[in-house]
Chain A
Amino acid sequence: MRTIDTESASSIRERAGERAVKLQLEGIEKSFGLLAAVAGVDLDCYAGEVHAILGENGAGKSTLMKIVAGDLQPDAGHMWLDGETYRPASPKQAMRRGIGIVHQDHQLVSRFTVAENLFLGWDGADRVGGPRSLAEQASAIVDRYGFELDPTSTVRDLSVGEQQRVAILRALVRGVSVLILDEPTATLTPQEVEVLFGVMRNLATDGCAVLFITHKLCEVLAISARVTVLRAGVRVAELGAHECDERLLAREMLGRDVESPSKGDAPPRAVSEPILQASGVTVRDDRGSLAVDDVSFEVHSHEIVGIAGVAGNGQRELSEAVTGVRRVASGRVLVDGKEMTGEDAASYVRAGVGHIPEDRLTAGMILRESIANNSILKMLHVETDRSNLTRGPWLRRREIDRFARQLLVEGQVSTSDPKVKVANLSGGNIQRFLVARELRAASRLLVAVHPTRGLDVGAADRVWRILLRARDEGIAVLLISEDLDEVLSLSNRVLVLSAGRIAGELDNTGAPPSREHLGMLMGGVEQEALVGSAAALKGCGP
């Protein structure tokens, strides 16, 4: 009822030609313990516009939006929605007043199916029909918005990107009048981003206010009418999108100028030798279905090979297969010409393979353990390290502490005490520590999966430079990332993974390949079919 009221009210104002303030925030503050995440932010969001919230990781964007969505209660400040006091005690209350949010971490019920997640807590659906009816209604919704999802699959089995799409859909079907999107584009292909932008524009035209949180400058300029820039929990600027460019936004966001690292040129192929050779590799996922299907490629020394693709197209399984975490169903994996098929992670470590995993907090680190204990997670497999760190069946604690301290220095971690528990480090520090540890293991090959996900620009920059330095030292680097910019700015060659197969291989040494071309490959159009085909373009577009 409420939603309809406000929508009609806003459309009346729309017709009258005046802009209505949909949502107004004033002096919002929120602290977690001693950390002031949001320190007094004002914001005005108008109906019928896309309003971007720009800021680095940790700038307070997500916290602010969680307050708006009723997830968190502000310590101070006030909010108005449609001119009325708005202070949601719960996400449910916020939803009832037409505020929907798509979180960065999706917040789906992982054991439920896509359809069940869409309908959970929503009265708008016919729930009598049972699972099959739910699935049918869900696929109708999925088709309406043009997303690629199987409504009957369990969310737990979906990739991060697919889960995010479910979360976006969940908010959309509830008919929101303020839609908050917390970094929604990170895991989408360029075409899907276009689809999403189309949806956002449509919503805005319908009188909806869209709050779009991002740290990607080009997206801000592409979609939003106005930009609020946050830095360290404070609003530093509010700008009309027409009056700014990327350089200005970057300076506002970071408080300084930044330049992205240039990848430089790889040495000619003759100098390099193949380190990782995968031929006909086929891998099954946890459900037993084919995740990687007959994939063959090589990674040479002195080069970074990037694997681009939308999440859930086999990246995880492929990265696990070439590091020994997951068995290959068929095919061969060779490292340095040595047969590694069927070996476990320990053998890969011995072969000089480092691995920055996708789930660095659950797989790559033991959070409740000390830095010292985490520093030797894999090192005991390497003979030289083992003889240094252990004596017979015993650990040499003092040597391990020294080793951990070295890693802390190499990773530029904020602490130098190896007894600190990893859980008490920040995300950026954990990642730098992990990268330092894996670089130690990676004497031949480094497999880096989403190495900068969740890092701010400064921390990401440091990781990029580390990867480039590793390449220059002759290490073969396999970079798997959903961030197309990251893949393109670092890789010498780009492989596009789509539905478990390599859809295309692109040389990235000269001029970068066109994004459209890449996006088509990511969307599953094979390289051969692409050549000058207008029909293919049509099939992929929004």
Chain B
Amino acid sequence: MSLSLPTVTDVHVRQSIGVRSLRSRWTWIRQEPSETRSWICRLIAVVLALVVAGAYLVITVHVPDVLGLVLRTTFTTAPGLQELVVLATPFFLTAMAAQIPLRVGLWNVGGEGQFFAGAWLATAFAFSLPHAPGGVLIIGMLLAGAVGGAIWVAIPVLVKTLLNVNEIITTLMLNFAATYWIAYWITGSWRYPSTQGGTIESRFMPAQSNLPLIHLAGGLDSGLIIAVALTIAVGLAVRYSIFGYRTLIVGSGRAVSSYAGVRVRWVIALSLLLGGALAGAGGVLQLIGNSHQLTPGLSDNTGYLGIAVAVLAGGSVLGVIVMSCLLAVIMSVGQAVQIYGVSSEDVFILIGLLLLLATIAEVVAKYRLVRKVPTGGTARVPKEPVGLAPSVSESSRAAVAGDVG
């Protein structure tokens, strides 16, 4: 007990000579982050993750200038750019498939299954009209894909809105169902005849359905343009439509929704169906832009990686575009460095790190370090250190009396 006495002196000495700790001069304040602020924080997270990955590469791979070599190959050679575009294209739409339901607070983790369902229905459409003109086929297949993706998410929508079954479980489980559904068809009536064992794939799509190439860098996949255009269009539509505004209300909780008189079930259903349709269209783009065959490897996990993109992008469409490209670069570089003995798992570790840092950045963006402005309190008339007797500061009382009177 008596040990605490020196503290009294300490505080009083510090007060009387005006020394205050550094900690009390700066302080964190919490606030709703502005768009730019949270973006800066997220970019820092991305750069940090890339620096870690780069350092890892330089340390583990004993090739001089491995990083520069890989980046140059990716960005300056035709095959590098082609690969980049092929990798990026499906991310846009699978990311939107996760992002739109996220606005209402739902996790659509079934992008993978909806992607396949879309590709399947489009394939069915193409095989049943094999001689239709190219334009009809392409538009028809895209629409069929959207319908297919929406049908695939319709079951989760029904059980969510009627029975409140968790959509994470239902959408995830249907991914596996989709894989086997595809396998059933491509090993059955759609099977490519000359496949001998090994990989299983469907017959080729009608040639006129193949998307034209852009005559740049030796021919780029024009699916990219469709994907970006669709992403921007849907993003703007959600931002400037009444439906988009209602997703925002529903995403803010049940209390606000019922107070505002929003029909929650409809908004939930529409956002999930829209997400499913976009994932389905993504599957079609991959089909007619790149593989031209329905294969089990058509998605190559883009349905899942789309969720990562959506999280990294926050609520913004620009974010989806930027992060899709970034993820494509990472995947592409990841493939390139595999020839130097880096395993493909390392790429996924990097994506995990990226997600982790981005999540932390999201929290950091809410705080801000500010310098304290000296308050009226610090300018207070210094008092004599008093003992334990009750003391009323006469000077402050007098000052107050003057203030009031």
Contact = CB atoms under 8 A, between A and B. Distances in A.
Interface of A: 21, 24, 26-27, 29, 31-34, 36, 38-40, 42, 44, 46, 75-76, 78, 80, 83-85, 87, 233-238, 251-252, 255, 324-326, 344-349, 355, 357, 359, 362-369, 373, 376-378, 380-381, 390, 393-395, 397, 421, 423-424
B336 to A, nearest CB: 41
B253 A368 contact: no
Contacts of B32: 367-368, 421, 423-424
Contacts of B7: 85, 87
Contacts of A359: 255
Interface string B28-47: 01011000000000000000
B128 interface: no
A373 B389 CA distance: 57
B274 to A, nearest CB: 13
Interface stretch (B89-97, B239-247, B304-312): B239-247
B388 A24 contact: yes
B148 to A, nearest CB: 25
Nearest to A376: B245
A34 B245 contact: no
B261 A381 contact: yes
A48 B97 CA distance: 66
Contact of A395 (B245, B260, B392): B245
B248 A345 contact: no
A229 to B, nearest CB: 9
Contacts of B241: 393-395
A72 B29 CA distance: 15
Q: When A and B form their complex, which 10 residue pairs have the shortest distance between CB atoms, in order from nearest?
A: A345-B261, A346-B261, A39-B377, A33-B29, A36-B375, A40-B377, A363-B255, A85-B4, A44-B390, A29-B377
Given A29-B375, A369-B248, A395-B241, A345 B15 contact: no
Nearest to A323: B259
Contacts of B242: 380, 390, 393-395
Nearest to A83: B388
Interface in B245-275: 245, 248-249, 252-253, 255-256, 258-263
30 contacts: A21-B388, A21-B389, A26-B383, A27-B15, A27-B380, A31-B27, A33-B27, A36-B376, A40-B375, A40-B380, A42-B391, A42-B392, A44-B390, A83-B388, A85-B5, A87-B7, A233-B376, A235-B396, A252-B404, A357-B259, A364-B256, A365-B256, A366-B252, A367-B32, A369-B252, A373-B248, A390-B242, A393-B241, A394-B240, A423-B32
A364 B32 CA distance: 18
Contacts, number: 158
Contacts of A373: 245, 248
A32 B30 CA distance: 10
Contacts of B376: 36, 39-40, 233-234
Contact of B256 (A36, A346, A366, A424): A366
A424 B31 contact: yes
Contact of A33 (B11, B252, B370): B370
Contacts of A87: 7
A377 B388 CA distance: 57
A237 B256 CA distance: 43
A44 B261 contact: no
Nearest to A343: B261
A378 B372 contact: no
Interface centre among B248, B261, B396 (most CB of A within 10 A): B261
Contacts of A21: 388-390
B318 interface: no
Interface in B374-405: 375-378, 380, 383, 386, 388-393, 396-397, 400, 403-404
B59 interface: no
Contacts of B11: 78
Contact of A378 (B260, B378, B389): B260
B17 interface: no
